[in-house]
Structure 1
Amino acid sequence: MRKMAAVVALSLLGLAACAGNESSPAVPGAAKPAGDDLLSKAPVADAAAILPGSTMEKIKKRGELIVGGSLDAPLLSQQNPVSGQVEGFDADMGKALAKYIIGEPKVKIVNSASETREALLGNGTVDVVFQTYTITPERAKQVAFAGPYYTSGLSIAVKKGTAGIAGPEDLNGKKVIAGANTPAIPAIKKVAPQAEIVTFASDPEAMQALKQDRGVAYVQDETLLAANAQKDPSIEVVGNPFTQDPYGIGLKHGDEQFKTFVNDWLKKMQDAGVWQQAWKNSLGTVVKGEAPTPPQIGSVPGS
């Protein structure tokens, strides 16, 4: 959904973290990562699916999948400071796709920002993007999208104890925080046209602004707000998501062969229950209830 608010300086484009094969703990005596059991159940493509001259063959020969993503998104894709492993829903999905292609979950993550994802895919710096990347017809003119692989939505976060905000209609007449250049801005204008919107370049800046009362509410993707609330008990998420945001797996525009391959993998992940386990290991540790029904592949314009 969101154009990822954890925007880093462009100098970080070259920063890459090698997740590699994370089937064993990186620290002696450390607990077995939850993702290990998941990856052991993840499918591997038949040799016939790795077509000669294809993107899949190139990745397999290279021996690692290069993913545009994040290293600082809790529950989604965050590097564990102790083990060095990258953990979360997006991270596990990337490792599972690597296993499907290569036979092992070998991944290199290139830390990307919302402004650079299209360029990273277009110039071949990354093979795929797993970064809560909302599928839109406009974006689909620049990149291809497999999926959607998850559906989230915009929600509202406030300081705990804030009264008078239970849903989007309550934002009218109030100062509301949003990430710069994100879908939250037009959504707020639609549901609360009298709201005063103040924008910040990154999620940490927006969260700091909320805590400093520079806005009474912060509108952002539910997955990100859930992660923020997990880290900071002074923040709470109110109400239910008031939009639907289908996340796609970003691919290079025009590579229909690879798109079909990734969609086939995603369907196998869902049918085998591996997708559901990835959710339970990450977002499901905060969000109550059973894993949601996976979105139908190809169900939204641009996918």
Structure 2
Amino acid sequence: MRTSTSHLRRIVPAALAVTAMLGLAACSSDGSAVPGSDPSASKAAASLDEVYKNAVVADAADILPGSTMAKIKERGKLIVGEALDAPLLSQQDPSNPDNVEGFDADLAKLLAIYILGKPSVEIVPPASETREALLQNGTVDVVFNTYTITEERATQVSFAGPYLESGLAVAVKSDNTDIKGIDDLGGKKVIVGANTPAVTAVPEKQPSASIVSFATDPQAVSALKQGRGDAYVQDFTLLASDAASDSGIKVVGQPFTTEAYGIGLGHDDAEFKTFVNDWLVKIEKDGTWAKVWEATLGSAVESSTPDAPKIGSVPGS
């Protein structure tokens, strides 16, 4: 893409319209995502300027006549099911509501560039239980919403990807230099969320760890900062969001369980699925995927950049 707008990521083009409907939820969150602007947004914006300027654009021959991508191109915007309250994933700037940033939000804009040559996106915030309906009735073209790929869901919608793997990860106080991940939790006091997968996963990985549970994510974070536990185990994306908004904690290591997220698409649209998967392969090979991860989720994680998940690697994808 040859557009050379230095503030491309800070100010989404006027064509982006945020459609406020339904509740806001990301499937990996317990609803406690911290609202407000992302403290790392300015730094992330600067680091992605070149990514946007040089984003890959599909060849005209790839926009097949009568296809979903042709309809999107004719319309002039990509309609995306995407949260507005998920820090580091898709967070709306309260001081500039047209500005939505994060891993999901940036990838959605890059997909729009691939189809349209410009990041023209309209956002429809979904609730977890409405994502299938939004795709089935054509309200949205795609869903970027920490949408876990399952075989059951794949009977109702299609999934491109996976494009991101999450799972349980470890957070510690920001001054902790001893714990680097799950392997260091033997004999430690570990905070978990009540009724979350961590309740059973931690003892399976570290039988000598002692577990203390808290009802909500804010309570667990407070307990960690107060020293009532050595570490906090929770979903990676939620911990990264917590760390982005609270300098008192940090995420260490990569997730030690796997939950694969896919891009939701209309069911049985093989042409569009192939098109989106081809785009994912291109942005993974040219380093775009890694740069977006580093500027968003990676900004709150004390570990190396992970490899992108293999396309079609999980049942339902």
> What interval of TM-score do these two structures reach, taking the shorter chain for normalisation?
0.7 to 0.9
| Number of aligned residues | 272
> SS where residue 109 of structure 1 aligns?
strand
TM-score, normalising length from structure 2? 0.71
Whole-Å separation in 1 of the counterparts to 2:157 and 2:197: 18
1:266-291 deviations in Å (ceiling 9; x for gaps)? 11111222112111221232224543
* Distance in structure 2 (CA, Å) of the matches to 1:196 and 1:286: 24
Structure 1 vs Structure 2 CA RMSD = 3.5
Distance 1:160 1:258, change over 3 A: same
Cross-structure match for 1:153: 167
Distance change in 2, residues 1:102/1:31 (3 Å) = same
Following TM superposition, by how much is the alpha carbon of 1:172 offset from its aligned partner in structure 2, in angstroms? 11
Indicate whether 1:177 and 2:161 are aligned: no
Deviations 1:2-51 (A, max 9, x none): 7142659xxxxxxxxxxxxxxxxxxxxx9964433211111111112111
Q: Quick one: which of 206, 217, 223 aligns to 1:206?
A: 217
Moved more, 263-272 or 189-198: 189-198
Q: Quick one: which of 105, 109, 117 aligns to 2:119?
A: 105
Which moves more between the two structures, 133-142 or 48-57? 133-142
1:196 positional shift: 8.2
Match of residue 49 from structure 1: 62
> Match for residue 20 of structure 1?
none
Give identity over the alignment, percent: 55
Quick check: 1:158–1:210 contact (8 Å CA) kept in 2?
no
Corresponding residue to 1:3 among 24, 27, 30: 27
Structure 2 CA distance for partners of 1:187 and 1:64, relative to 1, 3 Å: farther
- After superposition, residues 1-303 of structure 1 pair within 5 angstroms as 3-5=27-29, 7=31, 33-84=46-97, 85-157=99-171, 167=182, 176-177=192-193, 205-208=216-219, 210-211=221-222, 219-237=233-251, 241-303=255-317
Q: 1:55 to 1:31 in 2, by over 3 A?
A: closer
Looking at structure 1, the residues matched to 294 and 256 of structure 2 have their Cα atoms a distance apart, in angstroms, of 23
> Where does the alignment leave 5 or more consecutive residues of structure 1 unmatched?
9-29, 200-204
2:268 counterpart SS class: coil
Output the CA distance in 1 between the equivalents of 2:251 and 2:59.
43
Residues 190, 232 of structure 2: 8 Å contact kept: no
Contact 1:43–1:269 (Cα < 8 Å) also in 2 = yes
| Structure 2 alignment gaps of length 5 or more | 1-25, 33-42
- 1:128 Cα deviation from its structure 2 partner: 0.8
CA distance in 2, matches of 1:118, 1:104: 27
Question: Per the alignment, in what secondary structure is the counterpart of residue 128 of structure 2?
Answer: coil
Q: CA deviation at 1:53?
A: 1.6
Aligned letter for 2:222? K
**TM-score relative to the length of structure 1:** 0.74
CA–CA distance in structure 2, aligned partners of residues 224 and 183 of structure 1: 13
